[in-house]
Amino acid sequence: MTNIHIPRGWALPDSAATPESIYLNRREFVRRSGAGAILAAATVAACRTDGRAAVVQERGPLDNVPDTPTADLYPTATKDPRFTPGERHGTISEERVVATYNNFYEFGTDKGGVWQHVGPFEARPWEIEVAGLVDRPGRYDLVELERAFPLEDRIYRHRCVEAWSVVVPWIGFPLASLLERAGPRGDARFVRFVSFNRPEQAFGQKTQTWYKWPYYEAVRVDEAMNELAFVVTGMYGHPLQKQNGAPVRIHMPWKYGYKSPKSIVRIELARDPVPTFWNDLEPSEYGFYSNVDPAVPHPRWSQATEEIVGRGERVPTLPFNGYGEFVAGLYGGRVTPAGDVPHAG
């Protein structure tokens, strides 16, 4: 085992992360330098070799931000120093990495190809329905929500169950704010999230019919109310790229990535436990809680370390992905609650 030092602590100045001037201006830079044209040509070539001429688009991976009248809100998001702890999380990943290595099965299983297939997906305008055991059920226009809640910048580590990770400056608002607006009833114990279902806009939904579309996930109400649970509408100083779950996704950084459903249309509060997409497909491999736990291997691989995408580096995985001080109390001190899968052997 190599001696990799993972610094701890919150108080890292923002400047230690990728400077905003770099990530905010990258699209402009790519255009001016002509790299955009090269990239577009590469896209066309890639599409030809895999025979999917229909998806050819002259867009690069950073050109998938849908137009929205709220775009002006993004560069001015507020920062809470507790949630911009770059040092704890490692160096922020380049947006190009985060936008070209995606898990989003609605657009296929090739992580490098998702961004090339999201063109037909119409991610704006958008509504979210909040339903079930709430005092004020209803449909919320996303634009209203973006204006209603102050948008915050939060740098979160994202740890996929497949043992890779990225560090992303997300923008959004606490999930608790949205739930409080809807007024959860006392008997609500679970929160269910449902993604869009549009096979005509998402070729993975159309061709991979063995999956139970739309994608659905769920957590306990107290997990959803934890201050770390975040409704994400932006990244790197602008609204979300489609391949990262535009226009709205969830992020719970202490859980494996699949507990962060993308492009959600519905949030439902329920009394009884609700099924989840990956757990339904492979219950021996994907648990309900799915807290990041280096001590519990996936049945087919170890979770002890992870690869930092784009850096060619492996580092030890941390319990709760490094967020134990916020969330350990939810689980009585155990990272993987008793009975949650997977358990090897």
Ligand X SMILES: Nc1nc2c(c(=O)[nH]1)N[C@H]1C(S)=C(S)[C@@H](COP(=O)(O)O)O[C@H]1N2
Interface with ligand X (CB under 6 A): 102-106, 158, 160, 195, 215, 244-245, 257-258, 260-263
In the list ligand X, Mo ion, none, the entry touching 262 (Cβ below 5 to 8 angstroms by class) is ligand X
User: Within 10 A of 138 (CB to CB), how many other CB atoms are there?
Assistant: 12
Q: H or E stretch including 276?
A: none
Q: Which residue pairs, CB below 8 angstroms and at least 24 apart, start in 181-186?
A: 181/136, 181/148, 182/130, 182/134, 182/135, 182/136, 182/137, 182/138, 182/267, 182/269, 183/134, 183/135, 183/136, 184/133, 184/134, 184/135, 184/221, 184/269, 185/133, 185/134, 185/135, 185/269
Smaller CB distance to ligand X: residue 115 or 133? 115
Enumerate residues 6+ apart whose C-beta is below 8 A from 140: 127, 128, 129, 130, 178
Rounded Cα–Cα distance for residues 116 and 81 (Å) = 35
Q: How far is the CB of 162 from Mo ion (least distance, A)?
A: 6
CB distance 93 to 169 below 8 Å: no
Smaller CB distance to ligand X: residue 57 or 241? 241
Residue nearest to ligand X (CB): 257
In the list ligand X, Mo ion, none, the entry touching 260 (Cβ below 5 to 8 angstroms by class) is ligand X
Rounded Cα–Cα distance for residues 321 and 146 (Å) = 28
C-alpha atoms less than 13 angstroms from C-alpha of 86 in its C-beta half-sphere: 15
> Which of 140-148, 218-226, 255-263, 279-287 is the region at the interface with Mo ion (rule: CB under 5 A)?
255-263
Nearest to 247 by CA among 110, 146, 115: 146
**Per-position x/- string for 59-98, each x denoting binding to Mo ion as judged by CB under 5 A, each - no binding:** ----------------------------------------
Q: How far is the CB of 332 from ligand X (least distance, A)?
A: 26
Q: How far is the CB of 187 from ligand X (least distance, A)?
A: 28
Residue 214 found at the interface with Mo ion (CB under 5 A): no
Q: How far is the CB of 164 from Mo ion (least distance, A)?
A: 8
Site for Mo ion in 135-194 (CB under 5 A): 160
> Which of 170-178, 245-253, 257-265, 275-283 is the region at the interface with Mo ion (rule: CB under 5 A)?
257-265
Q: Which residue of 253, 257, 261, 287 would you call a contact of Mo ion, by CB under 5 A? A: 257
The footprint of Mo ion (CB under 5 A) covers 103, 160, 257-258
